Structure 1
Amino acid sequence: MNIPNILTLLRVVLIPVIVVVYYLPVGWSYMAAAGVFFIAGCTDMLDGYLARRWNQSTPFGAFLDPVADKLMVAVSLTLLVHEYASFWVTVPAMIIIGREIVISALREWMAELGKRTSVAVSYIGKIKTAAQMGAIFFLLATPAELKTLMGLVGYGFLYLAAVLTIWSMWQYLAAAWGDLMPSDDHD
């Protein structure tokens, strides 16, 4: 067990903390939950940086890091779908969560073929992640019934994340298309 792996585990532990804090019957619960989400997001950046810098990458960390990320995003988006109870939050949340499932399955399948690098994380995927983290932070920090600048910024990031989600999914599927749909040519 090393510091990068401990940070990844901390991110997993913080997921239920986000939910519990969000539902506390106090006025500051939204901002506090957003703060916990922010801390969890920082561990995501820090664990990978430290693992590379200190040469402490491990198979456990390589497995758990993307799982922790996807759990944190899926649980937080589900929390927001429930809180906002709005088509305008539900649809982009469905797109983002659905894409995560599709691309995770695609990466696993491509790894079985020995071609995982053809669906490695892209630059668009990194921008998408930043946009969705920003969206979740701003929307967690804002009660659904309040129309604030922070809430509008959250919506903007959410829709940017949804567009980038579709774009990056298309890129990954295009990169794997030859393996997904091999031609029947037998020359």
Structure 2
Amino acid sequence: MRINLPTWLTLFRILLLPVVVVVFYLPWHWSSLAAAGVFVAAALTDWLDGWLARKLGQTSPFGAFLDPVADKLMVTVTLFLLVSDHPSALLALTSAVIVGREIGVSALREWMAELGQRARVRVQLLGKLKTIMQFVAIVVLLVEHDAGTLRFYKVGEVLLVLAAALTLVSGFGYLRAAWPALSESSFRDGG
């Protein structure tokens, strides 16, 4: 298998995750901005790899598999960092909703692919909006994670709650789209 440029960018995004973790825990006053900067660089590669894949005609099954995995890893790892730093019920609950939805939708897509109906649960516009909202919320929370005043931390929390709401709505959209095939399969299998 030959790895193309968009897939290299996706792999680079995954490799940036340990960098975000290390920088997040550095004991320097600029570590918040640096961690947020690394996260933003990773988020930009998410946009760039998709754009390049379409522009250069370099889409591949491996790239199509790896790109959403990289996105989910980015969000999940960073949310774990943020919850460990500010263990509030609100942050833990919204993070659990986001991560739980990601796991559920991934399982749903796998099941639908097994039924030969993966196209029913392809990425929707609302799912892309959800991802953007998550990224923005995470950047705000990263910047503010060790700031003395936490003046924008509440803004980040509100954005994350909105992202969790979009997460639920888009997740139910995927489930509704898949429901006819799922219920038919369950009826056919006797379940």
Whether TM-score is above 0.5 comes out as yes
TM-score tier after normalising by the smaller chain length? over 0.9
Cα distance change of structure 1 residues 71 and 184 upon mapping to structure 2, 3 Å threshold: closer
Deviation of 1:153 (Å)? 2.3
- 2:10 is aligned with what amino acid? T
The equivalent residue for 2:33 is 31
Distance 1:3 1:92 in 2: 34
8 Å Cα contact 2:17/2:77 also seen in 1: yes
Deviation of 1:151 (Å)? 1.6
Deviation of 1:133 (Å)? 0.5
| Superposition TM-score, scaled by structure 2 size | 0.92
- 2:83 is aligned with what amino acid? V
Q: Which of 149, 160, 163 is the aligned partner of 1:161?
A: 163
Q: Which of 51, 57, 60 is the aligned partner of 1:58?
A: 60
Alpha-carbon RMSD across the aligned residues, in angstroms, is 1.5
Task: Give unmatched runs, 5+ long, in structure 2.
Answer: none
Give aligned pairs, total: 185
Q: Which of 91, 96, 99 is the aligned partner of 1:97?
A: 99
The equivalent residue for 1:49 is 51
| Superposition TM-score, scaled by structure 1 size | 0.94
8 Å Cα contact 2:82/2:145 also seen in 1: no
The equivalent residue for 2:123 is 121
Output one character per residue of 1:74-123: Cα deviation in whole Å (capped at 9) or x when no partner: 00001111011111110000000000000000001101111111111111
Q: SS in structure 1 opposite 2:7?
A: helix
Distance 1:106 1:144 in 2: 37
Deviation of 1:60 (Å)? 1.6
The equivalent residue for 2:16 is 14
The equivalent residue for 2:88 is 86
Distance 1:177 1:126 in 2: 21
- 1:135 maps onto 2:137 in alignment: yes
Q: SS in structure 1 opposite 2:52?
A: helix
